[in-house]
Amino acid sequence: MQIAMTTAFSPSSKPVELSGTTGKIYPNVSLAPHTSYRVGGQARWYAAPRNWDELQGTFEWFQKQDMPLMLLGAGSNLLISDRGIEGLVLSTRYLRHRRFDEETGRITVAAGQPIVSVAWQAAKRGWRGLEWAVGIPGTVGGAVVMNAGAHNQCAADCLVSAVVVSPDGKVETLTPEDLNYSYRTSALQGGQRLVIEATFQLQPGFSREAVTATTQDNLWKRKSSQPYDKPSCGSVFRNPTPYAAGWLIEQLGLKGYRVGDAEVSQRHANFILNCGQAKAQDIFRLIHHVQEKVQGHWSLLLEPEVKILGEFSTL
């Protein structure tokens, strides 16, 4: 399997070199630059394999250790503790390739490819089916794992299969039925199986101008209603049907409410922003404050869409 992309990286101390590959595992790496919130402590170990051999080498090293594993894509749906993460953090963001099959209308994409770039590439070919994904700030792997969606569509609507690998090296090809999809979740969440590529069924043969126009319109709608000028994780809470989480929060006058440098967005109340020097603990406390207020007034517990990792204080 060919997956390739290189990146520069500055370790904080001497890395472990993986036998038989050019891959490395780095100790004590700050995770803040690897998340869209720009907060979080250090990973005890961090690996970002650039190809299949390096990924296998990383898993072989991990199997010899006694430590937990955390999987990381673009870090766009994560809140990582200021105390950091014990064990190995394995990032897929540099595993990238894509292949369009003109005969079947299918596109196969590596896990680290930004879903936004795939949406634009499909649109420019006149292939329909991913116009909704143009504003999703994550990778293909992350979109598959969390069943990402927008504009009343989601990954489950067009996913054909996903190839996943376990830390023991077992490779499986899973269908949407295997993934047990529901709203913003799948059977892969909370587990250690890593998505390495996914195949989507699209609809070729449409006007490039028309599909591009729809994609652009979807992007404009998101930018006009959601904040993109400050670090965030996207939507913080799942929408509790039939309500929109942002509407529930807004009705309580919580727009602009702050804990430290973490703020409920003035533009969209389901976004919490890092307004400069926020700590992960500030964001965590603000999430809980919003939950308490909504539950007290509406008798609804907002369930976080953002994945919260590491140790936090509830005080």
Give which of 306, 310, 307 is closest to 272, Cα–Cα: 306
Task: Pinpoint the alpha helices (H) of the chain.
Answer: 52-63, 115-124, 140-146, 176-179, 208-225, 245-251, 280-298
Q: pTM, whole model, 2 decimals?
A: 0.88
Tokens of 170: 């077992």
Q: Which residues contact 201 (CB under 8 A, 6 or more apart)?
A: 104, 105, 106, 129, 158, 159, 160
Q: How far apart are CA 55 and CA 34, in angstroms?
A: 18
Q: Let me know how long the chain is.
A: 315
CB 21 within 8 A of CB 60: no
Residue 118 and residue 109 in contact, taking contact as beta carbons nearer than 8 Å: yes
Q: Which parts of the chain sit beneath pLDDT 70?
A: 1-12, 315
Question: Measured between alpha carbons, how far is 91 from 76 in angstroms, rounded to an integer?
Answer: 12
Q: What is the reported pLDDT for 315?
A: 67
pLDDT at res. 223? 87
Note the pLDDT of residue 169: 87
Catalytic residue, chosen from 76, 232, 235, 265, is 235
The three-point CA angle 222-115-82 to 5° equals 80
Domains in the chain, please, with CATH? 16-91 (3.30.43.10), 98-224 (3.30.465.10), 227-309 (3.90.78.10)
Identified catalytic residue from 38, 93, 128, 184: 184
Of 54, 131, 197, 305, which residue is the catalytic one? 305
Tell me what pLDDT residue 14 has.
Answer: 87
pLDDT at 21: 86
Residue 235 is among the residues annotated as catalytic for this protein: yes
Q: What is the pLDDT of residue 192?
A: 87
